[in-house]
């Protein structure tokens, strides 16, 4: 083995990250100044030091507050360009990135400005050789009607996304509420994925599979509490996109060496590794692999998760084979 999985020299796919979660404090301050949006402090180090969370909602409150600085197409371009640069610096060769348009539109930003900015950064990254696409995430606590309206309003931008997902406050907003909007997305040829089992019980994961007919699960941690469900996920080979640093930072997992991803792997579940919100949880995808290396996870397991990431990516067979061949020649 020449390089560890965490190395930028090992190609990898990142399938679970939120563009809005890439808003590093330095960019946050720049955008706040550019747009005249007040911040509690303009010192990026002090802002970073505040990122200690007791649970998912603590994080989401800060995450959504910070998004008040996002106003223009240029802001969205700069945010996505920052992430896509960081991703490439970490060896990412395939990026599938979530974004939350409902937040921005709710703050009075035209959807066209959001998509102009994000779209320009993704087009630039593609020209530079990165394979990358966007996934529209519905904000589940805004409800199913708002999600349905967003899908309707998104029609002019339909070709800029490859799929839909569901994120934000989980408990109290079970996947079944979104059955019709996911069915509409499927009928339009969009891929489907869903945050489930991060804080919600195994029933949330079951509903994501049965009611939303998702192709992948994001987090999925609490599925390990239900052996039958875990067996089913393994039998159906549903990839679970896990974010180790996020799960420890948000206390979904008390210690890295007790992360449910190990039980998932033992059960035969396909597991991938991603950063979730790299500006908030201590690092990019490389740092997430490094955290697993630090607790002694074998390279065989970690390289297996990278292989799975290409297998789980929403790409065609030819592209998949090219990524896997590059991985084989790098390890
Ligand atoms: N939005 C951004 N990060 C998230 C997470 N970890 N869980 C739910 N929604 C999110
Ligand atoms: Zn997430």
Q: Establish whether 198 is a catalytic residue.
A: yes
The per-residue b/e assignment along 130-160, b for 16 or more CB within 10 angstroms, e otherwise, is bbbbbbbbbbbbbebebbbebbeebeebeeb
Q: Is residue 65 predicted with pLDDT exceeding 70?
A: yes
Q: Is residue 230 predicted with pLDDT exceeding 90?
A: yes
Q: Is the CB of 323 under 6 A from ligand 1?
A: no
Instruction: Assign 2 a pLDDT band (cuts: 50, 70, 90).
Output: confident
Which ligand is closest in space to the CA of residue 17? 2
Q: What's the pLDDT tens digit per position in 267-319?
A: 999 999 999 999 999 999 999 999 999 999 999 999 999 999 999 999 999 99
**pLDDT > 90 fraction of the chain, expressed in percent and rounded:** 99
Whole-angstrom Cα distance, residue 19 to residue 54?
A: 22
Q: How far is CA 122 from CA 125, 161, 255, in A?
A: 5, 11, 35
From the centroid of its chain, how far is CA 314?
14
Q: Can you tell me the mean pLDDT for 159-187?
A: 98
Long-range (24+ apart) CB contacts under 8 A made by 51-56 are 51/249, 51/280, 51/281, 53/249, 53/250, 53/251, 54/251, 55/199, 55/250, 55/251, 56/169, 56/170, 56/198, 56/199, 56/250, 56/252
> Structure tokens of 127?
């020209």
Say whether pTM exceeds 0.95.
yes
Q: Can you tell me the mean pLDDT for 164-185?
A: 98
Give the nearest ligand 1 atom to 250 CA. 6
Cα(218) to ligand 2 centroid in Å equals 7
- Contact, 272 vs 239, CB < 8 A? yes
Q: Is the CB of 309 under 6 A from ligand 1?
A: no
SS3 content of the chain, % helix, strand, coil (to 5): 55, 15, 30
- Contact, 78 vs 27, CB < 8 A? yes
pLDDT at 29: 98
pLDDT at 192: 98
Q: What's the pLDDT tens digit per position in 276-290?
A: 999 999 999 999 999
Q: Can you tell me the mean pLDDT for 79-87?
A: 98
**CA terminus-to-terminus distance, the chain:** 6
- Contact, 198 vs 175, CB < 8 A? no
pLDDT at 296: 98
Q: Is the CB of 21 under 6 A from ligand 1?
A: yes
The Cβ of residue 274 has, within 10 Å, a number of other Cβ atoms equal to 28
pLDDT at 231: 98
Cα(217) to ligand 2 centroid in Å equals 10
Q: Can you tell me the mean pLDDT for 179-193?
A: 98
Domains of the chain: 12-330 (3.20.20.140)
Whole-angstrom Cα distance, residue 204 to residue 209?
A: 9
Whole-angstrom Cα distance, residue 192 to residue 212?
A: 8
Instruction: Assign 1 a pLDDT band (cuts: 50, 70, 90).
Output: low
pLDDT at 242: 98
Whole-angstrom Cα distance, residue 23 to residue 242?
A: 20
Is beta strand 216-219 parallel, antiparallel or unpaired with respect to 191-196?
A: parallel
Q: Which residue's C-alpha comes closest to atom 7 of ligand 1? A: 168
User: In a mutational test of the pocket of ligand 1, which residue from 277, 280, 281 has the highest number of ligand atoms less than 8 Å from its CB?
Assistant: 277
Q: Is the CB of 97 under 6 A from ligand 1?
A: no
Q: Tell me which residue has tokens 């996870």.
A: 297
Q: Can you tell me the mean pLDDT for 75-96?
A: 98
């Amino acid at each position: 083995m020449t390089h560890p999985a965490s190395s930028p020299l090992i190609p990898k796919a990142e399938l679970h990250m939120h563009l809005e979660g890439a808003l590093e404090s330095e960019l946050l301050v720049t955008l706040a100044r550019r747009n005249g949006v007040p911040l509690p402090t303009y010192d990026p180090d002090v802002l970073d030091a505040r990122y200690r969370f007791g649970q998912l909602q603590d994080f989401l409150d800060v995450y959504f507050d910070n998004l008040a600085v996002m106003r223009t197409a240029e802001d969205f371009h700069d945010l996505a360009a920052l992430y896509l640069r960081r991703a490439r610096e970490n060896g990412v060769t395939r990026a599938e990135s979530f974004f939350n348009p409902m937040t921005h539109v709710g703050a009075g930003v035209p959807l066209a400005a959001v998509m102009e900015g994000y779209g320009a950064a993704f087009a630039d990254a593609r020209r530079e050789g990165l394979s990358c696409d966007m996934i529209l995430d519905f904000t589940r606590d805004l409800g199913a009607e708002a999600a349905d309206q967003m899908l309707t309003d998104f029609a002019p931008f339909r070709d800029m996304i490859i799929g839909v997902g569901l994120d934000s406050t989980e408990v109290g907003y079970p996947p079944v509420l979104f059955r019709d909007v996911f069915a509409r997305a499927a009928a339009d040829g969009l891929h489907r994925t869903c945050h489930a089992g991060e804080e919600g019980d195994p029933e949330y994961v079951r509903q994501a599979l049965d009611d939303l007919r998702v192709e992948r699960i994001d987090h999925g941690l609490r599925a390990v509490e239900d052996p039958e469900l875990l067996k089913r996920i393994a039998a159906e080979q549903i990839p679970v996109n896990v974010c180790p640093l996020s799960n420890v930072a948000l206390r979904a997992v008390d210690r890295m060496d007790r992360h449910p991803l190990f039980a998932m792997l033992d059960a035969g579940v396909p597991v991938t590794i991603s950063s979730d919100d790299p500006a908030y949880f201590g690092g990019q995808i490389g740092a997430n692999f490094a955290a697993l290396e630090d607790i002694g996870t074998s390279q065989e397991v970690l390289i297996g998760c990278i292989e799975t990431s290409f297998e789980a990516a929403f790409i065609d067979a030819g592209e998949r084979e090219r990524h896997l061949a590059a991985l084989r020649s790098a390890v």
